[in-house]
């Protein structure tokens, strides 16, 4: 996992399946690194952005 911040604006064009995959991979990476490093502000913020985008899509429903 790199330490680059992923803004919400970059997530809108990613397919849902790819976004879900990114979420699960990031979740595992953040949890593993959190045990070694403690807080990871950029990684945690990026993960929150991915989570929020997935939630927005669930609420919004499938694209027509």
Inter-residue contact 15 to 62 (CB < 8 Å): no
Question: Could you identify the residue written with the tokens 């990613």?
Answer: 14
**Hunting for tokens 């919400």 — which residue is that?**
8
Where does the pLDDT of residue 58 fall: very low under 50, low under 70, confident under 90, or very high at 90 and above? very high
Any domain includes 15: yes
| 2 found inside a domain | no
Q: For residue 1, is it within any domain?
A: no
Q: What angle is formed at CA 24 by the lines to CA 57 and CA 41, rounded to 5 degrees?
A: 90
Domains in the chain, number: 1
Considering the domain boundaries, does residue 16 fall inside one? Answer: yes
For 1-64, where are the alpha helices, taking DSSP H only? Answer: 16-37, 41-60
Q: pLDDT tens digits for 8-50? A: 999 999 999 999 999 999 999 999 999 998 889 999 999 999 9
In a domain, 14, yes or no: yes
């Amino acid at each position: 996992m790199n330490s680059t911040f992923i803004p919400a604006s970059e997530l809108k064009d990613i397919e849902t399946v790819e976004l879900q995959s990114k979420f699960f991979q990031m979740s595992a990476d953040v949890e593993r690194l959190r045990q070694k490093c403690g807080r990871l502000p950029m990684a945690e913020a990026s993960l929150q952005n991915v989570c929020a985008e997935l939630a927005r899509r669930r609420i919004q429903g499938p694209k027509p």
